[in-house]
Amino acid sequence: MTAVRSACQILERDGHQCVACGAGGVRFEVDHIVPLAAGGSNELANLRTLCVPCHRRRAARPAERP
C-alpha cells in the first residue's frame, strides 16, 4: 500500500477532521500515535489525522509509549 493510499484511508476513517481538536476543512498531516523511533509502526491502527497546529504541538511533546 502506498503512503498516499494509506493517508487517504486514515483521513476517511477519521471523518476528514483532526482527531485532537475536531477541525475540518484545513490542511491535515498523518501522525504516528507511537512514533517509529519509540517502536511504533506504520500500521493503520498507529496512524491518525491531525491538523497542522495539533501535529506541531504533538511533535513538541515526548513520545507516547505503548
The answer to whether residue 15 is domain-embedded is yes
The answer to whether residue 13 is domain-embedded is yes
Length of the chain: 66
Cβ 66 vs Cβ 34: under 8 Å: yes
- Rounded to the nearest integer, the mean pLDDT of the chain is 91
The answer to whether residue 30 is domain-embedded is yes
pLDDT of amino acid 20: 98
Residue numbers of the domain that contains 14? 3-59
Distance CA(31)–CA(40), nearest Å, equals 11
pLDDT in tens, 21-50: 999 999 999 999 999 999 999 999 999 999
Cβ 53 vs Cβ 18: under 8 Å: no
The answer to whether residue 65 is domain-embedded is no
3-class state of residue 32 by DSSP: strand
Strand runs (DSSP E) across the chain, as ranges?
Answer: 28-32, 47-51
pLDDT of amino acid 57: 95
pTM, two decimal places: 0.83
Question: How many domains is the chain built from?
Answer: 1
The answer to whether residue 31 is domain-embedded is yes
The answer to whether residue 55 is domain-embedded is yes
